[in-house]
Amino acid sequence: MAIETSHGLLVASLRTGSRRVFAINPLAAARYRDRHGVSRKKSDPGDALVLANILRTDMHAHRRLPADSELAQAITVLARAQQDAVWTRQQVANQVRSLLREYYPAALLAFQGKQGGLTRADARVVLTLAPTPAKAAKLTLAQLRAALKRSGRLRGCDTEAERLRDIFRAEYAHQLPGVEAAFGHPSSWPCSSSWTPPARPRTISRRRPQPPFTSTPTARSSSASPAWDRCSAPACSPSWAMTGDDSPTPGL
């Protein structure tokens, strides 16, 4: 059997029997298609003929799907998901870097040279707290220390807070106040679950049990913050903590 994909329900069904399944790269299939016509016209019967002839003439040049165990296939799915998450995180980081170049050079100077750059947890927390240069310049040492601790940093908070304060209060080129506020508005920031701030630890509530299906999402802050903190996409939905009676209770 020749097919242009290596995953999916159809492939899973084909692999359950004794058939030998070959996953042909779509680009390779497109090159073979030129043997049968120059019009580049696509059709299901034509594609089936191309795939059949690929195995008839060049089966030795293609690798069949291995007979992996269920555990190996599960590991493959998880590895692919992890790889996609890394690529998505880097893509969003590139978008954020391009956005910050337009109005917020202090943030680039503060985090760009560190390992992880703008994908670091402290960068996400600080940018959520101060999405504009004007707000960043007003941050105190106490606020910066608290933000660093919320990001999970355990050592050197005082030194890092002083460094960030000096960077944020230095002189830079600025956009007009209204334009700067527009750049810092949540709608201007890329949205991705890869930029969701660190979740709060799971907490067991001692409150009285609540009736089921009566909880409401956590109230969002009205202050302007990057879109990763106020995204309405399913991947960025509010975190729920489970109470002692296993009913969802927001805000813990």
Taking phi over 0 as left and psi of -120 to 50 as alpha, with beta for the rest, 51 belongs to: alpha
Q: Please report the pLDDT score of residue 241 as a whole number.
A: 35
Bridge partners, 64 (sequence order):
22
Taking phi over 0 as left and psi of -120 to 50 as alpha, with beta for the rest, 11 belongs to: alpha
How many CA atoms, within 13 angstroms, populate the side-chain half-sphere of residue 204? 2
pLDDT digits (tens, 9 = 90+) for 189-211: 876 444 444 344 444 444 544 44
Q: Please report the pLDDT score of residue 79 as a whole number.
A: 93
Q: Please report the pLDDT score of residue 84 as a whole number.
A: 92
Q: Please report the pLDDT score of residue 224 as a whole number.
A: 42
Beta-carbon count within 10 A of 191 CB: 21
- Enumerate residue ranges in the chain where pLDDT < 70: 191-252
Beta-carbon count within 10 A of 192 CB: 21
How many CA atoms, within 13 angstroms, populate the side-chain half-sphere of residue 209? 6
pTM confidence score = 0.57
Q: Please report the pLDDT score of residue 191 as a whole number.
A: 61
